[in-house]
Amino acid sequence: MSLTELDTDLHAERAHLDASRAALRRMRERAEALFATGDRVAGDAYTAEQLGRHMARRVKELADDPTTPLFFGRLDFGDRDPDHAGREYHVGRRHVTDDLGEPLVLDWRAPVSRSFYRASARDPQGVAVRRRFGFSAGTLTSFEDEHLDRGEELGTASRILTAEIERPRVGPMRDIVATIQPEQDELVRADLADSICVQGAPGTGKTAVGLHRAAYLLYLHRERLRRSGVLIVGPNRAFLSYIAAVLPALGEVEVAQATVEDLVERVPVRAVDPPAAATLKHDVRMAEVLRRAVEAHIGDPTEPIMVSDGSFRWRIGLDPLHRVVTETRAEGLPYATGRERVRARVVGLLQRQAEARRAESPSDVWLRRMGKAAPVTGFLDAVWPALTPDGLLHTLLTDPDALATTADGLLTADEQALLLGRAPGPVPNGSRTGGTKLGRTPKATRWTAADAVLIDEAAGLLERPAGFGHVVVDEAQDLSPMQCRAIARRSEHGSITLLGDLAQGTAPWAARDWRESLAHLGKPDAAVVPLSVGFRVPAAVVAFANRLLPALAVDVPPAESLRRDGTLDVRTVDDLVAATVAEVRAALAHDGSVGVIAADDTVDRIRTALADAGVPTATADDVDAAERVTVVPATLVKGLEYDHVVVVEPAAIVAAEPRGLHRLYVVLTRAVSRLAVLHHAPLPAPLG
């Protein structure tokens, strides 16, 4: 292509961009006008509200962000393609049509757009030319063509892909829709029915894949998923705020995000378990203990039921009552549903007697009255008493006999003592970690985070929670079996995307084998798919962090970094804090974000020193902060990334927790361009 041709092409593409922007603006204006008149055209208040909500969402979905390009690629189909011969399509973040309804931009999730990500010289899928666009702050600046019909393919050598992954990072996570790679696209476009587990080294795009899969599924199954919902589960609030902008940028504004702690928050968490007690409470045996505890409340009828009904007296004998309880029990319903089933069956027996005597069907009012009659309720309270989730756990933790009966053969005597808070243990850091502080009632009890998981399990035994159509679980290696079960309860009829890296497991119960987690999640047959190309961490930094891998005792495929650039600087220093301040100052000379990562108990000292030196800092959960420097405790940095990372005293990070080496592996793999490791103490052995 000659220079003039290039110019003409660029000019034409810019004109197409302008036309697309104008068309999107008109689409939005039309939606806004409809929104404004919605209540006048709707027949009634309910329809008006529904319509209003729909239109408000539509208006939001059509928002145009001038800094993100509306399209990023183009497909020119060859003359012989059976469906699209001779046509060209621009591929972008959402459909844009002109006033006649002709497409100006195709949504990246549309079936045709798939070829943008998957066509290759070997399998061109009818595409003659694939064009990628380069943008700078929303302005179209360049393009790059691959003539697939002539066997040309750039793959990861694409200049535009390289520029995109090397672009300095600032603020929250961005979408990767313009540069999704074929192995990622395969996961993004997996069927809604398929649950998948992605094992990938740091920076291989697991989070990106999960978010894009959510957006893809919402596009394909909009109505169904809008009803059932899509949920993203992340490790902490800082992570959730870091990823929060990705789906809205893709036009998806209605996806729930939560930590597992949020999901199970039925009681306030106001106490901390000692590590051994927490580990035991997260053990899957606790599910069986709770199941037995619930089951133990179902009793045998000991007396017939007698109900006075005006001039009649009804009586149900022990045999039919036994049958009702046995049959209901065999149905395996959630406990509270079972209780109502027993009530309904008892009322059914009364109804049959009444019909036989009166030769007419009793009214609904009569049925309700019988259901609430004192002898019926008394019977229920005796054989199938009402339970509350926190009440159930409260009984177990306060009544050694009840615990001994239900935990018999499951938990040792020592373990039972631990649950009852009787085993004395060291209290780390001097903080109050005395475990659950039992009050006389469940309400007066100060529960721990692990108790909340158990209470949620109990709640699930009593009543099934509403489930989501699809759940994306990030950093899933840290889920305990009991947390997996909490997610399983919410995705029983839906599918899940599980994302994680066994090497980054830092929780005491971290997964060592994905099959186990998948079994606890109720999806034992889900495929485990590796991602192996790293887009974040430069090769030199990956090589340094990988020295830790043999010590992490996990079997994970090694990653290969796409990034040849980047620097690694490991230095012994005398004064850690002064060296950190100097390093941050030097880092500020470059573009991009700066993350200082240190053991949790030194973070305050570093923040103060930076403030004293006139360097303002942000906290990890404030992704929109104006400050370019963030000081992050090592335990909060999972899933995050910074352009320039300063790691302060690795030995202290390792010493702070039992799986400290895994934590250090997470910490060392946060850098996008440059990593400085400052240490005074010797480096942990595997790094030395």
Ligand X SMILES: Nc1ncnc2c1ncn2[C@@H]1O[C@H](COP(=O)(O)OP(=O)(O)OP(=O)(O)O)[C@@H](O)[C@H]1O
- Going by the annotation, the residues of the binding site for ATP are 200-207
Residue 470 CB partners (closer than 8 Å, separation 6+)? 192, 214, 217, 225, 230, 231, 491, 494, 495, 496, 497
- Could you tell me how many residues of this chain bind ligand X (CB under 6 A)? 23
Distance CA 402, CA 398 (A): 9
181 lies in the site for ligand X, by CB under 6 A: yes
Q: Which is nearer to ligand X, 161 or 615 (CB)?
A: 161
Distance CA 510, CA 508 (A): 6
593 lies in the site for ligand X, by CB under 6 A: no
Select the residue interacting with ligand X from 639, 650, 660, 684 (CB under 6 A): 639
Q: Report angle CA 156, 157, 162 to the nearest 5 degrees.
A: 80
Quick one: which segment of 67-75, 195-203, 461-469, 539-547 binds ligand X (CB under 6 A)?
195-203
Q: Give SS3 for 333.
A: coil
User: Minimum distance from CB of 400 to ligand X (Å)?
Assistant: 43
User: Residue 425 CB: number of other CB atoms within 10 A?
Assistant: 13
406 lies in the site for ligand X, by CB under 6 A: no
Distance CA 451, CA 261 (A): 11
205 lies in the site for ligand X, by CB under 6 A: yes
Q: Which two tokens stand for residue 316?
A: 């149900």
Distance CA 191, CA 385 (A): 43
Binding mask 470-509 for ligand X (x = CB under 6 A): -------------------------------x--x-----
338 lies in the site for ligand X, by CB under 6 A: no
Asked if 250 and 175 count as a contact pair (C-beta separation under 8 A), the reply is: yes
Alpha helices for 42-175 (secondary structure H):
45-61, 114-118, 159-166
User: Residue 82 CB: number of other CB atoms within 10 A?
Assistant: 7
User: Minimum distance from CB of 375 to ligand X (Å)?
Assistant: 60
Asked if 201 and 559 count as a contact pair (C-beta separation under 8 A), the reply is: yes
Q: Which two tokens stand for residue 170?
A: 């600032």
Q: Which is nearer to ligand X, 200 or 375 (CB)?
A: 200
Q: What are phi and psi of 372, to 5 degrees?
A: -100, -5
13 lies in the site for ligand X, by CB under 6 A: no
Tell me how far the alpha carbon of residue 626 is from its chain's centroid: 27
Q: Which helix H or strand E contains 308, and what residues bound it? A: strand 305-309
Q: Report angle CA 372, 374, 376 to the nearest 5 degrees.
A: 70
Q: Which is nearer to ligand X, 179 or 480 (CB)?
A: 179
Select the residue interacting with ligand X from 21, 74, 94, 206 (CB under 6 A): 206
User: Minimum distance from CB of 152 to ligand X (Å)?
Assistant: 20
Distance CA 321, CA 318 (A): 5
Select the residue interacting with ligand X from 106, 160, 196, 208 (CB under 6 A): 208
Quick one: which segment of 58-66, 202-210, 263-271, 285-293 binds ligand X (CB under 6 A)?
202-210
Quick one: which segment of 69-77, 175-183, 436-444, 628-636 binds ligand X (CB under 6 A)?
175-183
Q: Which is nearer to ligand X, 301 or 534 (CB)?
A: 534
Distance CA 642, CA 170 (A): 8
Select the residue interacting with ligand X from 207, 236, 416, 495 (CB under 6 A): 207
Select the residue interacting with ligand X from 27, 91, 112, 180 (CB under 6 A): 180
Contacts with ligand X in 603-622 (CB under 6 A)?
none
Which residue's beta carbon is nearest to the bound ligand X?
A: 205
Select the residue interacting with ligand X from 69, 92, 124, 200 (CB under 6 A): 200
Select the residue interacting with ligand X from 115, 204, 236, 477 (CB under 6 A): 204
| β strands within 371-464, DSSP E | 447-448
641 lies in the site for ligand X, by CB under 6 A: yes
Q: Which is nearer to ligand X, 536 or 663 (CB)?
A: 536
Asked if 684 and 661 count as a contact pair (C-beta separation under 8 A), the reply is: yes
User: Minimum distance from CB of 184 to ligand X (Å)?
Assistant: 6
Interacting residues toward ligand X by CB under 6 A? 164-165, 174, 176, 179-181, 184, 200, 202-208, 501, 504, 535-536, 639, 641, 669
